[in-house]
Amino acid sequence: MKTELVIDLEAEKQEILKRYRALLRASKSTLQKGDKKEIRKAFDMALESHKDMRRKSGEPYIYHPIAVAQIAAEEIGLGTTSIVCALLHDVVEDTDITLEDIEREFGKKTAKIIDGLTKISGVFDTNSSLQAENFRKMLLTLADDVRVILIKLADRLHNMRTMDFMPRHKQLKIASETIYLYAPLAHRLGLYAIKSELEDLSMKYLDPDTYKFIAKKLNEKKAERAMFIKKFVEPIDEIVHEQGLVADVYGRPKSIHSIWNKMKKKNIPFEEVYDLFAIRIILDSAYENEKADCWKAYSIVTDLYRPNPDRLRDWVSSPKGNGYESLHTTVMGPRGQWVEVQIRTQRMNEIAEKGFAAHWKYKESSNDNGLDQWIQKVREMLNNPEANALDFLDDFKMNLFSDEIFIFTPKGALIQLPLGATALDFAFEIHTGVGATCIGAKVNHKLVPISYKLQNGDQVEIITSSKQTPKEDWLNVVVTAKAKSKIKSSLKEEKRKIADNGKEILERKMKSLKITYNTDNIQKLSYFFKLQSTQELFVNVALGKIELKDIKEYLNTEKDVETRGPERPENLTVDMVKSKMKNADGDILLIGEDMQRIDYTLAACCNPIPGDDVFGFVTVSEGIKIHRTNCPNAAQLMANYGYRVVKAKWNKQQELTFLTGLRIVGIDDVGLINNITRVISTDFKVNMRSITVDTNEGIFDGSIMIFVNDTEHLENLIRNLLKVRGVTGVTRFDA
Ligand code: MN
């Protein structure tokens, strides 16, 4: 069905101007003399060069750069240069305008930022097989000028907000990249508001059912919650003002994504998530009174409501690495419900919401330089390139996106490490030489092994020995990229020495067997012993794993080897898969029908069943795996290996059964298990594979593995199980 689009060009012109004026209003606070003219010039250039282009929605393309510039100004707090760059961010990529044109009109700095934006515009191109390598490129620009990444985040946010017109497979791809890389990056740059919105938008496309479910639940109790917050806040507000503090006290809902995370992490239903919102106390304090005022407010809150002693977080005294400062406490509310209270000043709040740009604005008055350190770390990592781009990406995510812990040296200096870091990581952080010779550590004066996982606040002293050298298994002990790359290069060096030695030995052995020592023969030998490289061959010889008699054996079978050639498995490719798909839908893999021709398995990580939203992933040697789009691994797979993904759907006529799990909780009642199994096997004729039940003081908690046909079948079963007396919750889980 096609609907005719009638465009009123005059009205559109008016709308464009209206949006442009809104952008000017949003950037007003940062505008200086001459800035308005610069922005106008950029707007005119963008308008002219994009004039014949439209977005997927049919809207004029110029709406997009205006919106990106507005996000940059309003939500990230960037200034004129960035607004100009945001307006022009797509012109070099998509129109006839060149970088030289930009430089001539707007100067070097602007041209450099736009060059950075253009270079990384293809980073997550669907056709690109090297996303990880490209991500590295993107980070290189970050080390150059952070504004490139900030504008890129604004660009991504606007694209995510307007993704409804994209085809489904593109939505999945873009949402996956967003949750995998952009949201953590926004988090690391301290852009909490943007991070939360990116996460929610990703979830809306990757896991629409859960998203809608939680949104609906949140909406149902909205009025009740508002009432509760009002009552909770009233006395705080009153006393805070009585004591002469100027403060804004309000309730703030948590994001859908963070609620869902909590449900998964704690394995609890929506009803048991207590912190659906947080209370914020935003103080208007002079810089020198900030800390005292925050603790004053803390004291007021905890006089009114009893605090949970385990849940005090003081990021006022030691801010987080991304610059976040705030005082968090969780208190018992009037209805016996835990409530999180966040206390901070307006300055801290602006940093919390807008991150990086705000951080710079207050830089002179702030003694925290966590973000500078972070950028410094990014530079360091980029200078230590990891041969394997994917490893690099993993290390990077692990190190730079994860939460940090603070560790003290014996002299009391503070060292920041990623959560999960070990004593060995700490040793390498101090000095490569200390790491390489580390044999143990004293943590808070107690002796611990090198693999000891450090806790926030530990004081660590490293014990070394000149006899020690880095070992292969150390790679499993450390988590920081720095330690990993140092260990690897040391092992490599070690291996090279061994290989040199092995090479000499092999040369002698071959001579004694009258085999010519040349590249060709060395290659053949490597194949014969099924080794990855000639270096491996030399190492094996040096270590005595390959001896003279083994080489003799090779001589005996040499003819075979030549005719047979080295064994190399044929790699399955997406094209091979597509050539085997023969259905009316073109490039959609029909699970069931196509499967007689194509080797497939259902991924064990998410156990998809018919009815689930799925995709196919072409593995190198194990055929196609079918994953759910909300599989915990999906985002990683789609973001990094988009070129291996094939669209897939279930064939309706399937009469097969699939294994899935149900968790049933309730009040233990006589005959409860009987009633549950009756519904499953008698009423629904579903086969059970296993059943485990825990009863504890009257609470029933059971896991049942069953075989079902599809999601409809499963949902029906869940509905009926919920009707059993005593059952309070039934949820599906992946084995
Ligand atoms: Mn764009």
- Rounded to the nearest whole angstrom, what is the distance from the C-alpha of residue 103 to the centroid of ligand 1? 20
Backbone angles phi, psi at 533, to 5 degrees: -150, 165
- Rounded to the nearest whole angstrom, what is the distance from the C-alpha of residue 40 to the centroid of ligand 1? 19
Contact, 402 vs 419, CB < 8 A? Answer: yes
- Condensed to tens digits (0 to 9), the pLDDT of residues 686-709 reads 777 788 888 777 788 888 888 888
- Rounded to the nearest whole angstrom, what is the distance from the C-alpha of residue 5 to the centroid of ligand 1? 24
Give the N- to C-terminal CA distance of the chain in Å, as an integer: 43
Backbone angles phi, psi at 464, to 5 degrees: -120, 165
**Model pLDDT, residue 29:** 76
Report d(CA 451, CA 689) in Å as an integer. 40
- Rounded to the nearest whole angstrom, what is the distance from the C-alpha of residue 380 to the centroid of ligand 1? 29
Report d(CA 355, CA 25) in Å as an integer. 21
Which amino acid appears at position 212 of this protein?
K
Shortest CA distance to 272 belongs to which of 200, 342, 338?
338
Shortest CA distance to 184 belongs to which of 156, 212, 159, 164?
156
Report d(CA 229, CA 252) in Å as an integer. 9
Radius of gyration of the chain (CA): 31
**Model pLDDT, residue 281:** 95
**Model pLDDT, residue 364:** 45
- Rounded to the nearest whole angstrom, what is the distance from the C-alpha of residue 687 to the centroid of ligand 1? 52
CATH number of 658-733: 3.30.70.260
- Rounded to the nearest whole angstrom, what is the distance from the C-alpha of residue 84 to the centroid of ligand 1? 14
Report d(CA 331, CA 281) in Å as an integer. 14
Token pair for 466:
């000149």
- Rounded to the nearest whole angstrom, what is the distance from the C-alpha of residue 208 to the centroid of ligand 1? 25
Q: How far, in Å, are 27, 58, 65, 91, 322 from residue 62 at the CA level?
A: 18, 12, 6, 10, 33
**Model pLDDT, residue 141:** 64
- Rounded to the nearest whole angstrom, what is the distance from the C-alpha of residue 126 to the centroid of ligand 1? 16
Report residue 265 CA to chain centroid gap. Answer: 16
Residue 701's DSSP bridge partners are: 665, 694
- Rounded to the nearest whole angstrom, what is the distance from the C-alpha of residue 340 to the centroid of ligand 1? 38
Report d(CA 314, CA 285) in Å as an integer. 18
- Rounded to the nearest whole angstrom, what is the distance from the C-alpha of residue 94 to the centroid of ligand 1? 10
- Rounded to the nearest whole angstrom, what is the distance from the C-alpha of residue 265 to the centroid of ligand 1? 35
Shortest CA distance to 381 belongs to which of 476, 470, 475, 486?
486
Token pair for 140:
């290189």
The domain at 216-361 falls in which architecture? 2-Layer Sandwich (3.30)
Question: So where are the chain's domains?
Answer: 2-206, 216-361, 489-556, 569-650, 658-733
- Rounded to the nearest whole angstrom, what is the distance from the C-alpha of residue 214 to the centroid of ligand 1? 30
Report d(CA 609, CA 72) in Å as an integer. 43
Backbone angles phi, psi at 386, to 5 degrees: -85, 135
- Rounded to the nearest whole angstrom, what is the distance from the C-alpha of residue 633 to the centroid of ligand 1? 27
Contact, 616 vs 626, CB < 8 A? Answer: yes
**Model pLDDT, residue 199:** 95
Report residue 438 CA to chain centroid gap. Answer: 32
- Rounded to the nearest whole angstrom, what is the distance from the C-alpha of residue 677 to the centroid of ligand 1? 55
Contact, 646 vs 589, CB < 8 A? Answer: yes
HEC string of 289-301 equals HHHHHHHHHHHHH
The alpha helices in 178-304, defined as continuous H runs, are: 183-188, 192-206, 208-220, 222-242, 256-266, 290-304
- Rounded to the nearest whole angstrom, what is the distance from the C-alpha of residue 118 to the centroid of ligand 1? 10
- Which helix (H) or strand (E) segment holds residue 439: the answer is strand 438-443
Assigned superfamily of 2-206: Hypothetical protein af1432 (1.10.3210.10)
Shortest CA distance to 463 belongs to which of 445, 487, 439?
439
- Rounded to the nearest whole angstrom, what is the distance from the C-alpha of residue 125 to the centroid of ligand 1? 13
- Rounded to the nearest whole angstrom, what is the distance from the C-alpha of residue 586 to the centroid of ligand 1? 30
Regions of the chain short of the pLDDT cut 70? 1-7, 120-144, 355-403, 557-586, 592-597, 621, 652-656, 735
**Model pLDDT, residue 367:** 42
Active site residues: 93-94
Token pair for 106:
């707007």
Is beta strand 589-591 parallel, antiparallel or unpaired with respect to 645-650? Answer: parallel
Q: How many CB atoms lie within 10 A of CB 725?
A: 10
* Ion ligand 1 neighbours, Cβ < 5 Å: 90, 155
**Model pLDDT, residue 27:** 84
- Rounded to the nearest whole angstrom, what is the distance from the C-alpha of residue 186 to the centroid of ligand 1? 17
**Model pLDDT, residue 130:** 46
Token pair for 59:
């809207």
**Model pLDDT, residue 712:** 83
- Condensed to tens digits (0 to 9), the pLDDT of residues 220-256 reads 888 888 899 999 999 999 999 999 899 999 998 889 9
